Amino acid sequence: MHTRPSDSVLLTVTGRDGPDTTARLTGLLADAGAELLDVEQVVVQGLLTLALWVRLPEGARVGEALQALPELARELGVTVDVRAVPPSAPPMGPEPLRYVVTATGKALGVRDVQALTRTLAAGHARVERITRLSETPLAAVELHVTLPPDADPAALKRALLSLSMASPTFDVALQRESLYRRGKRMVVMDMDSTLIRIEVIDELARAYGVHAQVAAITERAMHGEMDYDESLRQRVALLAGLDARVLHDLAANLPLTEGAETLIRVLRRLGYRTAVISGGFSVAAEALQQRLGIDFAYSNALEVQDGKLTGRTVGTIVNARRKAELLETLAKQEGILLEQVIAVGDGANDLLMLEKAGLGIAFRAKPKLREAADTSISAGGLDTILTLLGLTARELREVG
């Protein structure tokens, strides 16, 4: 190709990946005095794709380098496409909006990727880079996308939520790309139906033979016929007289949600602070704290007299507002910005907590909470949160 002094050219290199392919190509350009403007390289199954955007200076060395390029390419077993890049006008107006889309599943197929990229295109999102996070099989990918400044990210989020809700094995999360996305320092979780697979109050009621009455009160609260505090008081009152050993035995054998142990173990090794903030009961929350090594646990305390539940709670009730307050207080106490906090929950009383955190995750939640949260997880376990942090399978293997 013909170039002029100070031409800007894009070299696209494809072919067999060698140990010194990039070094020898960039060496040729360096000897010619080229100025490197951008570079991107990826290797898939031993095949290299390398893009080099360079500005060529004046001088005979440029011509000599371009003449030597085909011979070097043959020697390296690659092909090199060289194209002039026309001068671009300086950017005008606001920068595009940058987001990260994370797709996870048991195995992502071509149809999944096609549906995802089609949804992104319909939402005017431009895919700039796709990175594989999992090993074999392909189960997690991260897409860096840009949106026009006048685009509606909320509409794209709704479209991606609809896509994931249409498949029971496919989760899609949309996050704003920022300094704090991979700079999170604390994860706060609800307990019942989030960190564990059960609702403790339901199991206690079942053991005491009052499950139907407790469920009826829960149903009324869900329909807005009473507030959370009153519903909790009425449900706990039905447990009056229950032997406290039933509660302790249950707390000693709580069924963990899939991925819970992995999540907490990795977070601890990476230096994250972890907390349970629950409207459930302290005996269970504190048992989980000891079992998993969680840093903090806040929940409702049941009053016990003579070895039996009195049907009353002790202290301030941990309701939706209290959950959000505890999250904020805990972050301030630990010197952590709210942007660096992840909150995870499944119920309506978790919404304020999720809104307070930098990233609120609805976990296996009802559609209403999934729509309100920043993102949601329904197909995977709690360890999917590690993927949302951008951690690869190799990195997870490094921390055990």
Name the residues annotated as catalytic.
190, 192
Q: What distance in Å separates the CA atoms of residue 210 and residue 216, rounded to the nearest whole number?
A: 10
- In this structure, the dihedral spanned by the alpha carbons of residues 270, 276, 277 and 282, taken in order and rounded to 10 degrees, is -160
Burial status of residue 92 (CB atoms within 10 A of its CB: 0-12, 13-18, 19 or more): exposed
d(C-alpha 125, C-alpha 53), whole Å: 24
What interhelical angle do 244-251 and 200-208 show, nearest 10?
140
What the block records as the tokens of 129 is 């880079």
Q: How far apart are CA 210 and CA 240, in angstroms?
A: 11
Instruction: For residue 78, list its beta bridge partners.
Output: 15
Closest residue by Cα to residue 295 from 264, 250, 320, 323: 264
- Give me the residue label for tokens 């009961």: 281
CA distance 354 to 42: 37
DSSP for 289-348 reads: HHHHT-SEEEEEEEEEETTEEEEEEESS---HHHHHHHHHHHHHHTT--GGGEEEEE-SG
Distance CA 82, CA 67 (A): 12
> In whole angstroms, what is the distance from residue 256 CA to residue 253 CA?
9
CB burial class (10 A; 0-12, 13-18, 19+) of residue 249?
exposed
Q: What is the DSSP string of 71-88?
A: HHHHHHTEEEEEEE----
Nearest-10 crossing angle of helices 282-292, 244-251: 30
Contact 382, 263 (CB under 8 A): yes
